[in-house]
Amino acid sequence: MPTRTLHIDVLVIGAGVTGATIAAQFAEQGALVGVVDALSSSRAARAELSLVTPHLHPDHFATTARGVEQFVQRCTQYGVPYQPCEVLHAATTQRGEAQMRTAIAQYASVLRDWIGPTARGAGGSVGFIIRKSALVDASQLVARMLEHPNIILRQSVEVLGLDYRGGVMYALASGYTFTAKWVVLATNAFTGLLSPYLAESVRFATGALWQSYPLRSGVLLPERPVVLDDGAYVFIPSAERRLYIRTWTTHKNGYLADPLQQLSELLKRIDPALLEYTAERRLSVLTFTDDQAPLVGRIESGAPVLYALGLGMFGLAWAPIVAERVVSLAQS
């Protein structure tokens, strides 16, 4: 089968929120950007309510708060509607509660507008109200950013290998050969094929999303989004009385639990009637690091290959921050 050669300035591998934000940042500065993704466009067409909120961690609160502001600015820039909201961040363990209290105390003076009162979460958990967050259809924002005239998007295209020779990066893909000044790895699933080192530097989590049909008035619906146990569970109510619940499961002692099963058990504990309103159940994958900060840098071989991985459960807040860092590395 003949291949087509495309000459671009930057090739971004991965068309999720991270890859799209990085691509848009380069494109807005005049670069010709290619974006490839092994998946089809079907996932971008799904309307899905997502929560953009800071990570209430002492090391990341201020940075991700800035990321939330930048994410909202991008929504405005690309004409994507969003809904400002308050969020209850809660913890069911003493360690989690202590972490949040430390973050609140550390940034109370500089982020006073963000911090609300102490509140109670599910099951008597202790939490804090964060006043500045937003609900948005992140898939719509990704689609709008990838429509930038300086971006060439190719989906259902899998990158099979990278080669650096003569000062030029070559990316060999199914049906295409790309030449670029820079390549950016912004994908979870195929990281190990392109860089075994990076695959060993992140951990994988399998996520489950449950979405309801509109709930009748008698079924309990949270009055605001809830982030429980550092993002392990996220509850998002919509104005149409739909409920979105996310949960993430990581490897423990070599055993990976089924997140969909865990989600079903959670729904039964909250209210068995919720199962009758199931509109969609879906699996997803993300990567995160032990210190919960994204990995951003250049591979050690000296080739012009950058990476942005491990954004974790608060990836929407990290995405604009990571895009800044990647573009800065390419320009340094």
Question: What is the tens place of the pLDDT at every residue in 139-169?
Answer: 999 999 999 999 999 999 989 888 999 999 9
pLDDT in tens, 49-75: 999 999 999 999 999 999 999 999 999
Q: Can you tell me the mean pLDDT for 269-286?
A: 90
Confidence band of 2 (pLDDT split at 50, 70, 90):
low
Confidence band of 42 (pLDDT split at 50, 70, 90):
very low
Q: Which of 98-102, 200-204, 245-249, 256-260 has the highest mean pLDDT?
A: 98-102
**For residues 11 and 181, what is the distance between their CA atoms, to the nearest angstrom?**
8
Lowest mean pLDDT among 19-23, 155-159, 216-220, 250-254: 250-254
**For residues 66 and 74, what is the distance between their CA atoms, to the nearest angstrom?**
13
For tokens 């997803």, the residue is 284
Architecture of domain 84-133+203-288: 2-Layer Sandwich (3.30)
CB neighbour list of residue 137: distance below 8 Å, 6 or more residues apart: 47, 48, 49, 50, 80, 81
Mean pLDDT of the chain: 90
List every span in the chain annotated with CATH 3.30.9.10.
84-133+203-288
Per CATH, the homologous superfamily of domain 4-44+146-201+291-331 is FAD/NAD(P)-binding domain (3.50.50.60)
Q: Does 199 have pLDDT greater than 90?
A: no
Q: Can you tell me the mean pLDDT for 238-242?
A: 93
End-to-end CA distance of the chain: 39
**For residues 32 and 295, what is the distance between their CA atoms, to the nearest angstrom?**
24
pLDDT in tens, 84-137: 999 999 998 899 999 999 999 999 999 999 999 888 765 667 799 999 999 999
HEC per residue, 58-84? CCCHHHHHHHHHHHHHHHHHCCCCEEE
Per DSSP bridges, beta strands 278-288 and 295-298 are unpaired
CA distances from 311 to 17, 124, 207, 245, 299 (A): 10, 29, 14, 19, 18
Q: Does 21 have pLDDT greater than 90?
A: yes
Backbone angles phi, psi at 242, to 5 degrees: -85, 155
Q: Does 190 have pLDDT greater than 70?
A: no
Lowest mean pLDDT among 187-191, 208-212, 218-222: 187-191
Q: Can you tell me the mean pLDDT for 239-261?
A: 80
List every span in the chain annotated with CATH 3.50.50.60.
4-44+146-201+291-331
pLDDT at 44: 45
pTM here? 0.94
In 182-247, which residue ranges form alpha helices assigned H by DSSP?
191-194, 196-201
pLDDT at 301: 74
161 is written with which tokens?
């290998």
Q: Can you tell me the mean pLDDT for 4-30?
A: 96
CA distances from 39 to 15, 155, 158, 184, 238 (A): 9, 6, 8, 17, 28
For the chain, what's the residue count? 332
pLDDT at 123: 61
pLDDT at 211: 95
**For residues 168 and 147, what is the distance between their CA atoms, to the nearest angstrom?**
26
Contact 35, 153 (CB under 8 A): yes
